[in-house]
Structure 1
Amino acid sequence: MILRNGLGFSQWRVRVVGRRPPSGHKSSSLRLILKKKLLYPVVAGVAALSLVGGTAAVVALDTNEVTLSVDGAAESVSTREDTVGALLAERGITVGEHDVVLPGAEAELADGLEIVVDYARPLTLTLDGEERVIWTTGKTVEEALAALKLGDADSKVSASRSAAIGREGMTLEVVTAKDVSLVIAGENKSVRIAGTVGDALAAAGVTLDDDDVVTPAASELLAPGMEIKVVSVETKESAKEVEIPFEKKSVESEDLDKGKKKVTTKGVVGLKKETYSEIFHDGQLVETKLLNSQVVKEPVDEVTTVGTREKKKPAPAPAAPTEADDSAGNENLTPATGNSCKASYYWDPQPTANGERFNPNALTAAHKSLPFNSRVKVTNPSNGKSVVVRINDRGPYVAGRCLDLSRAAMAAIGGTSAGVITVNWEVIG
């Protein structure tokens, strides 16, 4: 029953306790249930309570002693409220939809009850590059990570793990650790680390040169099971000498009979120095580039003279003179003047440039440019002997020589034993 005193006292809450049962009786008779009992005298308006069946009425006021912890700050509270929610309202504590109250707001209060209120904080979390907002009751970064099962010590966290999270929340970036494998020079190595490919390489003690190749790129974020390949790139220079082939050319000449060919300039190979850049991947040559080519010696083209002159019928060969006859027949010749050069002689019986068949016993000679059948006086200045020869062939093609005499002509001036002699010569017809 609820009683009010006649003097305007506050409302009291009381429970009426029935008659005390006999000793040892275990019935659920009405009794006064109080955690703490404050007994008040009955005021004059209510001098006595009626006794029914031996039961006494007592006026009492109910209070509960509880422990209230708000965001980790605990205090003992004495309250007459019935529920957790009513107590929080009494204390002016407002909770939001993300806050945690244990036990719940509808729970009845009892003496000694522990009530916990944890305020939720908004955590703007970027996890492995993906941003989201999470509400957490963790008061430190470490508590929040543990609640989210992100407490791996190998993960990277943008703030100190012991940093406090205020009611206003915070922004946090977490990069979780990944198990990845490195392939370096064909060998595998496992690494567990958070961050980028570059972080994994640094953790493995890999130092890269500027030209080394890393796949994926060093700036790429790690992913579970990622395989990172490192290719060591080395560049070397090498040089070698290479022959330059000569070209072959043909020129036409009226100084040579049609159908005849003669190599007038012998071909000579040239030489060049080539410098190469050689690129090696993990010690294996994968690419060669030509950097420079320098000619050391130019090639000399081979020139073949092709005759275009129409052949003439050969003149009848004169009687072959003997060496004695030639000497005797030319004793009265005056020495030749005007030109001086080296003269050689030949005796091979082969066709001459003017179409005759060469006669080594005739007084003939070869000259590179004098018209055929020109008559030339030739003098050996060492003995004064002279001979007159007829030009019927071309040559000689040896530097410093201008005449190639027949054997008979060379014998006439006494030069066969020497082979090559200095002569004076002049054209006389």
Structure 2
Amino acid sequence: MLPVHPGTSPRTRKSRHMARTLLIPAVAGISALALVTTAGLATALHKNDVELVVDNSATSIAVREDTVAAVLELEGIELGEHDIVLPGPETRISQGMEITVAYGRPLDLSVDGVKRTVWTTAPDVGQALAFLNLDAQDSKLSTSRSTGISRQGLSVDIATAKDVTLTVAGKTTQLTVAGTVADALAEAGVTPDADDTLTPAADTTLTDGLAITFVDVEVKTSAKEVDIPFKKTTTSSETMAKGEKKITTKGAVGMSRETYTDVYHDGRLVSSTLAKSVISRQPVHEVTTLGTKEPAPKVEVADPGVKKTAPTGSNNLTPASGSTCMASYYWEAQPTANGEQFNTNAMTAAHKSLPFNTMVKVTNLANGKSAVVRINDRGPYISGRCLDLSTAAMQQIGGTSSGVVKVAYEVVG
């Protein structure tokens, strides 16, 4: 039997022993619980540094979340069916991880008129077309390749390059170009103006094999002086003997300045149109006056001392007395004013008004030689002259060498 301490019953001593025995396991359990709780709390309080890249915009964050999906939810990022996240949403977070989010964007494409819509995560047009294998540098785009694509999307028209021919001034060139006929001209360095012609029109969409023709049209102005011909008219005069004819108004050509519009195609004149005509000098119309006066009846006066003879060229004639004037002669065979055929060997003459068949004595005042001639023609029409003798008559009075001589004349029958 254990010793019993004074004042202590055996029951009391047993209870204390049991208490000491139970206390040891209880303390051990509390220590274990504290250890587990501390480890869990440490894990819950740990943060990982993560770089979040959204559409190429990077942000560094510290997160306690354990998956990519949880981090995205933390940042309020919702993914659509066309969006991409790397690494995947179920990937566990680790220190220094980079999470990349690329939003899908609708890209409405029209390629040579054929429309379609594609989704892309590319940030700009150039990268999107490169991914779609539509980035040919000779294609023509409706927007710049550097244009950004928003989440709302973008519409882009693409014209792919076509093989065409361009003919300028008769020379044909092969071109590979996109767009319209105007783009083909620009590629060739041709700048049309309003006068030029172009087939087909500048806004025509290019197609393979299209033939383009350009004609350089130039409009110029030219001018020249042009003669205006005069008209010939006749009039009558009762003061002139019938059968007599003379030019009373001499004709003269006029002058006008004509301005033309000249059209050249590729340097070659194709048309010239009269634009205006300005008269600088009016023409003078020629007027010929015809005599209508009937000759007075001839009165024969008998003179027993004078015997009427035919015209003669005798040098024994007495000099004529009366009027004086200048006389010329002519020799061309032609009809006379009274209807005869001119005979250069006959003793005849032309006078402006004396009746036909009048006998006239003509004396050369320089040498005194005389001849009697018959009037059968009209003339001369040169100022200062009154008679135009036949060659024979002029020879008789010795004036052929001079051509024109001063004479005295008188009517003798």
TM (norm. structure 2) is 0.55
| Alpha-carbon distance in 1 for matches of 2:102, 2:329 | 125
- Count matched residues: 359
Tell me if 1:142 matches 2:126: yes
Change (3 A) 1:383 1:130: same
Residue in structure 1 matching 2:387, options 403, 406, 422: 403
Q: Does the CA contact (< 8 Å) of 1:341 and 1:423 recur in 2?
A: yes
Q: Offset of 1:368 from its aligned partner? A: 1.0
Q: Does the CA contact (< 8 Å) of 1:341 and 1:422 recur in 2?
A: yes
For 1:6, the equivalent position in structure 2 comes to none
For 1:340, the equivalent position in structure 2 comes to 325
Q: Offset of 1:153 from its aligned partner? A: 2.5
Change (3 A) 1:102 1:311: same
| Alpha-carbon distance in 2 for matches of 1:141, 1:349 | 101
**What aligned pairs does 1:8-407 form with structure 2 within 5 A after superposition?**
70-71=53-54, 79=65, 88-89=72-73, 91-95=74-78, 97=80, 100-101=83-84, 117-120=101-104, 136-147=120-131, 150-154=134-138, 155-156=140-141, 158-159=143-144, 161=146, 165=148, 176-181=159-164, 182-194=166-178, 197-206=181-190, 212-215=196-199, 220=203, 222-225=205-208, 227-233=211-217, 247-253=231-237, 255=240, 257=242, 278-282=262-266, 285-290=269-274, 308=292, 318-320=308-310, 322-324=312-314, 327-328=315-316, 330-331=317-318, 335-336=321-322, 339-344=324-329, 353=338, 365-370=349-354, 378-384=362-368, 393-398=377-382, 400-405=384-389
| Alpha-carbon distance in 2 for matches of 1:281, 1:361 | 68
Change (3 A) 1:125 1:426: farther
| Alpha-carbon distance in 1 for matches of 2:230, 2:171 | 52
Change (3 A) 1:372 1:98: farther
List per-residue Cα deviations over 1:28-51 (Å, max 9, x = no partner): xxxxxxxxxxxxxx967x99xxxx
Change (3 A) 1:167 1:271: closer
- The structure whose residues are more often helix, as a share, is 2
| Alpha-carbon distance in 2 for matches of 1:307, 1:375 | 21
| Alpha-carbon distance in 1 for matches of 2:172, 2:398 | 93
| Alpha-carbon distance in 1 for matches of 2:175, 2:391 | 96
Q: Offset of 1:100 from its aligned partner? A: 0.9
Q: Offset of 1:192 from its aligned partner? A: 3.2
For 1:24, the equivalent position in structure 2 comes to none
Change (3 A) 1:358 1:140: closer
| Alpha-carbon distance in 2 for matches of 1:360, 1:185 | 70
AA matched with 2:176: R
Partner secondary structure for residue 404 of structure 1: strand
Q: Does the CA contact (< 8 Å) of 1:243 and 1:270 recur in 2?
A: yes
Give identity over the alignment, percent: 43
Change (3 A) 1:150 1:350: closer
Q: Offset of 1:305 from its aligned partner? A: 5.8
Q: Does the CA contact (< 8 Å) of 2:245 and 2:378 recur in 1?
A: no
Q: Does the CA contact (< 8 Å) of 2:195 and 2:217 recur in 1?
A: yes
| Alpha-carbon distance in 2 for matches of 1:313, 1:96 | 137
| Alpha-carbon distance in 1 for matches of 2:66, 2:347 | 159
List per-residue Cα deviations over 1:234-261 (Å, max 9, x = no partner): 5678888977666443333554657x98
Q: Offset of 1:367 from its aligned partner? A: 1.9
| Alpha-carbon distance in 1 for matches of 2:332, 2:177 | 96
